[in-house]
């Protein structure tokens, strides 16, 4: 019900906003399409706003979520927002990478200067990435972990100048130091600590070697 109420508000606000600016839209054969695209854009904008308001009222924090708790109810609402509105955008590959940076920041991710993701960042508000870092195509950052009926969240922290290879998976609670590299297709187990200038790869990922830092 809470999700439906927020969604109804997003629809209503987007409808009203589109009507208010309708008089400045160009007339012609494509007016209907233009109005529909603008209305959809406003809907997503308001959905993001209401989602952030919901997170302020019922924040999703680190730690295990108890069954039948208030936190579990909040998580279900949170999950509906993502499954219906946000995941389709994340997984589409249609939105340009620079715009995805703005999208993830709007969802709460802390992305440093000149940091971009061509992968998918789940639970963005639990992810922190430093400056000049790159998340490769279809890499996954997953701050949540499900073990049987247990669901828990733990922040992912990535330093400056880090490269995450395409299709790599970074699981919950992972910390990656500056100048590190995670190889293509690697799966970094939850809670792992990757040191400064280390190269990790494999399934499960392990340290391969240190980067030659003498050039710095």
Fold for 97-215, please state it. UDP N-Acetylglucosamine Acyltransferase; domain 1 (2.160.10)
How much is the average pLDDT of 177-188? Answer: 96
The pLDDT score that the predictor gives to residue 19 is: 79
- Taking alpha carbons only, the member of 100, 167, 105 closest to residue 140 is 167
Question: Which of 22-31, 75-84, 181-190 has maximum average pLDDT?
Answer: 181-190
Q: pLDDT tens-digit profile of 48-104?
A: 999 999 999 988 888 888 888 888 899 999 999 999 999 998 888 888 999 999 999
pLDDT exceeds cutoff 70 at 26 = no
Mean per-residue pLDDT, 204-211: 92
Q: What is the pLDDT of residues 92-119, one digit of tens each?
A: 888 899 999 999 999 999 999 999 999 9
Is the pLDDT at 182 greater than 60? The verdict is: yes
- The domains of the chain are located at 97-215
Mean pLDDT for 198-205 is 95
Choose among 173, 208, 165: nearest CA to 192: 173
What is the average pLDDT score of the chain? Answer: 90
3-state SS, the chain, equals CHHHHHHHHHHHHHHHHHHHHHHHCCCCCCHHHHHHHHHHHHHHHHHHHHHHHHHHHCCCCCEEECCCCHHHHHHHHHHHHHHHHHHHHHHHCCCCHHHHHHHHHHCCCEECCCCEECCEECCHHHEEECCCCEECCCCEECCEEEECCEEEECCEEECCCCEECCCCEECCCCEECCCCEECCCCEECCCCEECCCEEEECCCCEEEEECCHHHC
Residues 170-176, mean pLDDT to the nearest whole number: 96
Q: What is the percent of the chain where pLDDT is above 90?
A: 62
């Amino acid at each position: 019900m809470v999700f439906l109420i927020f969604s109804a508000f997003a629809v209503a606000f987007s409808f009203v906003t589109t009507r208010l600016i309708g008089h400045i839209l160009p007339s012609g054969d494509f007016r209907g399409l233009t109005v529909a695209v603008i209305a959809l854009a406003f809907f997503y904008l308001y959905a993001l706003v209401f989602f952030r308001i919901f997170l302020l009222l019922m924040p999703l924090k680190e730690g295990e979520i108890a069954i039948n708790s208030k936190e579990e109810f909040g998580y279900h609402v949170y999950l509906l927002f993502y499954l219906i509105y946000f995941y389709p955008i994340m997984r589409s590959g249609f939105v340009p990478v620079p715009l995805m940076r703005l999208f993830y920041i709007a969802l709460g991710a802390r992305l440093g200067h000149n940091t971009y993701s061509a992968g998918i960042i789940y639970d963005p508000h639990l992810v922190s990435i430093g400056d000049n870092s790159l998340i490769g195509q279809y890499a996954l950052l997953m701050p949540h972990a499900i073990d049987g009926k247990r669901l828990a969240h733990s922040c992912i922290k990535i330093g400056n100048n880090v490269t995450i290879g395409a299709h790599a998976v970074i699981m919950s609670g992972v910390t990656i130091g500056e100048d590190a590299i995670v190889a293509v297709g690697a799966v970094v187990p939850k809670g792992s600590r990757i040191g400064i200038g280390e190269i990790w790869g494999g399934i499960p990922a392990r340290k391969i070697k240190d980067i030659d830092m003498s050039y710095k």
